[in-house]
Structure 1
Amino acid sequence: MIYSHAPINFVFNKNSDNFFVEEIPLYRFEHTGNWLMLKIRKKDLTTPQMIDILSKKTGIKRNEIGYAGLKDKDGLTIQWISVPRIYRDEINSFEDKKIKILEQDLHRNKLKIGHLKGNKFFVRLKKVLPSDAKRIERVLIDIKKLGIPNFFGYQRFGKEDNIQQAKEIIEGKRFVKNRRLEKFLISAYQSKLFNEWLMERIKLSNLFELSDKELLSLGYEKELIKFIKKQKHPFKLLPGDVMSHYPMGRLFYLENFEDTERFYKKDISPTGLMPGKKAMRARDRAREIEEKYDELLPANGDRRITWIFPEIIDKKYIKDKAWYEFSFILPKGSYATVLIEILKGNINALA
């Protein structure tokens, strides 16, 4: 069963004492050019809030400031931003109690969304008993070996009624003047469908732990049972799945058993549909499940890596404080809070 362990008791407060994230740039800067690259440390601010403060105090227009990814408010975060080089004097005189400029560099291009390789996280869990520390250790070993499902975290969905608003937009019952807000709402709805599809695939993978006889009685063909049961990874691939080189790369269809071995070795990963126009669709048995979540949406679609392989860098239990601390790296677009929920034993709460 995929991460179906009994709940592990610990307390996680997502704040600047217990949660730290540092962006990993996609490329090295060239040390020359018209764009000033700034390594920013911010505390208890969202990325847009940080940009607003920087803009007001320096006179740099918001649309002149580039960034690779949005970082949460809760926690201590480090990320790179870009501003035109002509503002170097204003940057050098900038001061704020929640924002600190750690480094400066130069580059030929402005930073854009997606221009990051991934994120490095530090997490501190509290009120961890020695018995629970051992269980955390065992689950982290599994996570390092097998990876985790790439669910969207709660941050993706915003306010509670956003999904309902998105549904009304899609059905033509609601008109939103703000195009950026409309795009965000529809994106949240796409993410919801992805999460629901991924949960069904996990349940299907767990189902195939039944005996051949039980699976045959449920209507599964002998050939499919054999194909799935031979796979080493607990997340089972289906004929017609759309695969991707990991962590990013070209898309292609799963067509042979050798590709399941490549998935187990972390060379490739399956992808899930973000419904919409122009997106590649699965085939065969994989499509039979996917099409249930493939709604007609007024937006372009995409595919998202379904399964990620976190790199666990460091971990330790501090017994006298009842703390468990660990550091790890996730690819861009993946959520540390999802890993923490899986660790806690709350995988079913993710969709």
Structure 2
Amino acid sequence: MRIYPYSLTPINFHFVQSARDFIVKEIPLYEWSNHGEHLVLQIRKKGLSTPEMIQILCDVLGCRHKEIGYAGLKDKNALTTQFISIPYSLYSKLKESQNILSQKNLKILSIHRHNNKIKIGHLKGNSFFIRLKKVLPQDLEKIYSILEKISTEGMPNYFGYQRFGKFGDNYLKGKKIAHGEKKLRDRSLSDFLISSYQSYLFNQWLSHRIKLCSILKNFSKQEAFRGIKKSLKIELTLDEIENLQGQKTFFKILDGDALHHYPFGKLFFLDKITQEESQRFYLHNIVPCGILDGQKITYPSKLALKFQEDFLDSKIQEAGSYRFAWVFPQRLQYRYIQEKAHLELSFELPKGSYATILLETLANQELSGESDV
């Protein structure tokens, strides 16, 4: 169960993840060089997943999957724009095939030459447009307040429902594979299911940390001492609680945390929290990170490790990594259309972050692809 930071009660609205109400555009990491042996295509797709789009390109252009590069996966139930690289040798075939591609819901918006093939992660982030329906006027004041907090204070970087499959149980299959209780011939599917299990553990850890932060925010030092001991099964000293409550941000940095320069830079570990590091987080210059557990990863230490231990699994043989625990949406704007009871949102998120988590943070409850919440 995911826990959210800014509301004690839920807000209800209707959200449909569709091409009309959910629009995603990739933000490239850098400008294209306009020379080289590759073509970078900016493609708008509708009703297609990224693998389905790649298969269409392979069929139409007569190339192999490994010749096509892409930076990230984009939702099927959305109108999405992303960048794809193909060999320059396919240019003539591409020009001849644009009508065919258009008939298959693929429209090429621009073409540039570039030195290298696009690889996973080669993007700055994504911009989003989302339309919410059945938004009640009496909820607007609270909605605007939460959106302002998200804009200035950030939001949790949970993995969204898309990560866990139609029935939300992919992580259970991944856990069985990691524990040697299940084996699949399809290595790609096996890796995907294990990554779903890693994502589940990350979400559980992040929810645990947000619960800590909620207690620190809403209770006195003495009450927080008792609440943390009872509900989180961890005993902090009164001095530790006082120091944590003194941080300006909702999400608290702990001694021993892994931190990352934001939005780009290096990962580093903080032995003991200082006022300087707390201020850097408050200014959006660094963020705490959580573990996607696996091999060859350095764990946090001290208090941060205490809050991490229950969400580690030494049986995961895949490589581990770190992920932002907290992100700061950029250019967040919103508009209420009273006659339709619609709320339109636009914003940008760093790569790997889910727009639907912003909606969940607003609603204070979990969503699915088509939800009355």
Tell me if TM exceeds 0.5.
Answer: yes
Distance 2:329 2:311 in 1: 27
Name which of 266, 274, 287 aligns with 1:269: 287
Q: 1:226 to 1:152 in 2, by over 3 A?
A: same
CA deviation profile, 1:62-95 (whole Å, cap 9, x unmatched): 2111100000101100000000001111111222
Q: Which amino acid aligns with 1:210?
A: F
- Please name the residue that 1:295 is paired with: 313
CA displacement at 1:212 relative to structure 2: 1.9
In structure 1, list runs of 5 or more residues that go unmatched: none
> Is residue 2:225 matched to residue 1:212?
no
Please report the RMSD computed on the Cα atoms of aligned residues, expressed in angstroms.
1.6
Q: 1:134 to 1:222 in 2, by over 3 A?
A: closer
CA displacement at 1:347 relative to structure 2: 5.8
- Please name the residue that 2:296 is paired with: 278
What is the TM-score with the length of structure 2 in the denominator?
0.90
- Please name the residue that 1:337 is paired with: 356
> Is residue 2:71 matched to residue 1:68?
yes
What is the TM-score with the length of structure 1 in the denominator?
0.95
Task: Indicate the larger mover: 193-202 or 134-143.
Answer: 134-143
Q: Give every structure 1 segment of 4 or more consecutive aligned residues whose post-TM-superposition deviation is greater than 6 Å.
A: none
Partner SS state of residue 181, structure 1: helix
Give the number of equivalent residue pairs: 349
CA displacement at 1:147 relative to structure 2: 0.4
Q: Which amino acid aligns with 2:340?
A: K
Q: How does 1:1-351 map to 2 (within 5 A)?
A: 2-94=5-97, 95=100, 96-97=102-103, 98-160=105-167, 161-208=169-216, 209-217=218-226, 218=229, 219-254=235-270, 255=272, 256-296=274-314, 297-346=316-365
Partner SS state of residue 12, structure 1: strand
Q: Which amino acid aligns with 2:283?
A: K
In structure 2, list runs of 5 or more residues that go unmatched: 230-234, 369-373
CA deviation profile, 1:234-287 (whole Å, cap 9, x unmatched): 111111111110113212222223211111110100000111111121110110
Q: 1:348 to 1:53 in 2, by over 3 A?
A: closer
Partner SS state of residue 258, structure 1: helix
Q: Which amino acid aligns with 2:327?
A: I
Distance 2:34 2:9 in 1: 51
Distance 1:75 1:190 in 2: 26
Task: Indicate the larger mover: 212-221 or 171-180.
Answer: 212-221
Distance 1:290 1:67 in 2: 33
Q: State, as a whole percentage, how many aligned pairs show the same letter.
A: 45
Partner SS state of residue 15, structure 2: coil
Distance 1:182 1:216 in 2: 43
Distance 1:245 1:348 in 2: 30
Q: 1:15 to 1:108 in 2, by over 3 A?
A: same
* 1:280–1:303 contact (8 Å) kept in structure 2: no
Q: Which amino acid aligns with 2:115?
A: R
